[in-house]
Amino acid sequence: MKRSKILGVGSYLPSQIWKNSDLEKMMDTSDEWIQQRTGIRQRHWVDQNSSVCTSDLAIEASKKALENSKIKKDELDMVILATLSPDHEFPGTACFFQAKLNVPGIPALDVRQQCTGFIYGLSIADQFIRTGTYQKILVVGAEVHSKGLNKTPEGRDVGVLFGDGAGAVVLGSCEKSELSSMSHILSTHLHADGQFARELWVQEPSMNHPGDRMDSEYIKTANFYPQMNGKNVFIHAVRRMPEVILEALSKNELNTNQIDLYIFHQANLRINERVAKQLEIPQEKVFNTIDRFGNTTAATIPIGFDEAIKAGKLKPGMLVVSAAFGSGFTWAATVIRW
């Protein structure tokens, strides 16, 4: 039986850095307020006057992942792109991305599971490789949040959280007989509970309205900006992430002490600290990037992989657990032998 392994990782952050102090007058907030509640010090945003979009960031991260994997783009059998900030309403951003990467003909799939999008995408790729359908798949998480945020005092609770960026991995196949200590994905675990979909969402534009999906009256409400019930999101995140981590560990007959590194979704440093405390995970085993990059949603975990490698924290042979929670509500985890 075949399994999948990560052959290469890459990430990309736009060059413009917005520190908390840059947002203070814009959003009537403070560096102290943001850091105390989120752990964020700065984030990267694309040039707000440019036409740079999500697929552009995905391309830059993917070029690095392909280079690091020593795989040529023409060897890819499939591309999967996870995002909540699509280039356009339709077609899917994976198609625009595929055209820019210049790999016509292979399947291009969008994943719209927000903060858990990368793990959902990884799981889909893993299944295609396990069944022998495909041999090499590129999985990308990419976001341009900055152009869709309410950058006024009314939007500060959400606006201070998000950054732009992209991360990518190239997956390849390996034989199960090689697995004892070889790099491979042990398992992925996916969940959702749609009854909480309106706790973190963008309400407009919507087919839910009588008449046109969007008109001038809807625009006046500013409901096309993201809205969040932060308290409820926090409560569910610190419950669901430990649950799915323990599920993943149990599936593989592992315990928390056997894991070398934890790379969680970067929504809020306080969430990750609470999850680690509940599971009695030492903080030195948890790798965070939120202080520098903010929440890049579908991109946080692959960016975390790349940054951990660069920092010398993630090395071949390590057991790694990643978990995420986000809009939907959705939550997921994966265990990887790096």
In angstroms, the CA 132 to CA 126 distance is 10
62-65 contact pairs (CB < 8 A, 24+): 62/10, 62/97, 62/101, 62/138, 62/140, 62/166, 62/168, 63/10, 64/9, 64/10, 64/11, 64/12, 64/168, 64/306, 65/8, 65/9, 65/10, 65/138, 65/168, 65/169, 65/170
Mean pLDDT of each 10-residue bin along the chain, 338 residues long = 94 98 94 97 97 98 98 98 97 98 98 97 98 98 97 94 98 77 92 97 88 78 91 98 98 98 98 98 97 98 98 97 98 98
Cis peptide before 107 (omega within 30 of 0): no
pTM across the whole model: 0.97
Which residue do the tokens 């990368």 mark? 118
Q: How far apart are CA 335 and CA 319, in angstroms?
A: 7
Which residue among 115, 189, 268, 288 is the active-site one? Answer: 115
Helices (H) and strands (E) in the chain, counts: 11, 13
Query: Catalytic site residue 115?
Result: yes
Question: What's the distance, CA 81 to chain centroid?
Answer: 10
Supply the pLDDT for residue 177. 65
Query: Tens digits of per-residue pLDDT, 66-78?
Result: 999 999 999 999 9
Contact 297, 320 (CB under 8 A): no
Name which of 121, 335, 332 is nearest 243 in CA terms: 332
From the number of C-beta atoms within 10 Å of its C-beta (0-12, 13-18, 19+), residue 171 rates as buried
Contact 12, 57 (CB under 8 A): yes
CA 75 distance to own-chain centroid? 25
Residues 125, 130, 133: CA angle, nearest 5 degrees: 75
**CA distance linking residue 184 with residue 162, whole number of Å:** 31
Phi, psi of 89 (to 5 degrees): -60, -45
In the chain the domains, ranked by start, together with CATH numbers, are 2-178 (3.40.47.10), 184-337 (3.40.47.10)
What pLDDT, on the 0 to 100 scale, is given for residue 151? 95
Give the model's pLDDT for residue 219.
75
For the chain, percent of residues with pLDDT exceeding 90: 90
Task: Look over the chain and give the mean of its residue pLDDT values, rounded to a whole number.
Answer: 95
Which pLDDT tens digit goes with each residue over 222-276? 888 999 999 999 999 999 999 999 999 999 999 999 999 999 999 999 999 999 9
- Whether 184 sits among the annotated catalytic residues: the reply is no
What's the pLDDT at 178? Answer: 56
Choose the catalytic residue: 265, 268, 272, 288.
265
| Spatial separation of the C-alpha atoms in residues 239 and 275, rounded to whole Å | 8
